């Protein structure tokens, strides 16, 4: 639980009262490699903090191929955010790529806490601004304008600890290239 609170404090310091109230809704769980935290076309209810392990956030295209949008290693929050906000079935699934331990909480309970505690609301705003505005905009620009080689070098730079934990086809899916293209790119480096 310590890692969870350290993560939260990077965005906003919380009062003891806020932490105590939020703690009441926290649950720990484990997901084995290959299992789903969330199925596609399901209405999500929770947000989870990855204490250990690795998850992928993906959808299946019309050919049935897995298209990975994001990886969630330890010390990140994971959810199907837009489906959570709209309370509609999600387009994405979330799968454990390694045995994973989570600290999760109900989104509806959390939203209530943001109305009751300004410091929790401050965390929520700071988190959304950083990850769903600043980072998302940069990722979208990079995906549309960078070459496959530039995308791979950026991935290698930004996520060096994930390279050895992922299979070639998983990295290729994330970078929107084929495994063969990725092998060529890596051979050129």
pLDDT single digits (tens) 96-142 = 999 999 999 999 999 999 999 999 999 999 999 988 777 766 666 66
Name the DSSP class of 55: E
Average model confidence (pLDDT) for the chain?
A: 93
The pLDDT value recorded for residue 32 is: 98
Q: Distance (Å, rounded) from C-alpha 76 to C-alpha 74? A: 6
pLDDT in tens, 132-150: 777 766 666 666 678 999 9
Q: Is the pLDDT of residue 77 over 90?
A: yes
- pTM for this predicted structure: 0.92
Mean pLDDT of 1-5: 94
For the record, the structure tokens of 10 come out as 């990077």
> Exposed/middle/buried for 31, CB within 10 Å: 0-12, 13-18, 19+?
buried
């Amino acid at each position: 639980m310590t890692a969870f609170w350290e993560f939260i404090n990077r965005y906003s310091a919380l009062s003891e009262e806020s932490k105590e109230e939020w703690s009441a809704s926290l649950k720990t769980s484990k997901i084995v490699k290959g299992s789903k935290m969330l199925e596609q076309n399901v209405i999500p209810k929770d947000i989870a903090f990855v204490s250990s392990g690795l998850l992928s956030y993906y959808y299946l295209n019309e050919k049935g191929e897995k298209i990975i949008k994001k990886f969630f290693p330890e010390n990140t929050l994971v959810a199907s955010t837009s489906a959570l906000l709209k309370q509609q079935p999600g387009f994405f699934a979330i799968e454990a790529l390694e045995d994973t331990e989570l600290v999760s909480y109900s989104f509806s309970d959390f939203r209530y806490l943001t109305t009751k505690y300004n410091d929790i609301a401050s965390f929520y705003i700071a988190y959304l601004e950083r990850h769903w505005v600043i980072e998302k905009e940069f990722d979208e620009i990079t995906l549309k304008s960078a070459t496959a080689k530039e995308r791979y070098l950026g991935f290698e730079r930004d996520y060096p600890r994930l390279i050895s934990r992922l299979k070639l086809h998983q990295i290729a899916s994330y970078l929107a290239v084929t495994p063969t293209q990725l092998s060529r790119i890596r051979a050129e480096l």
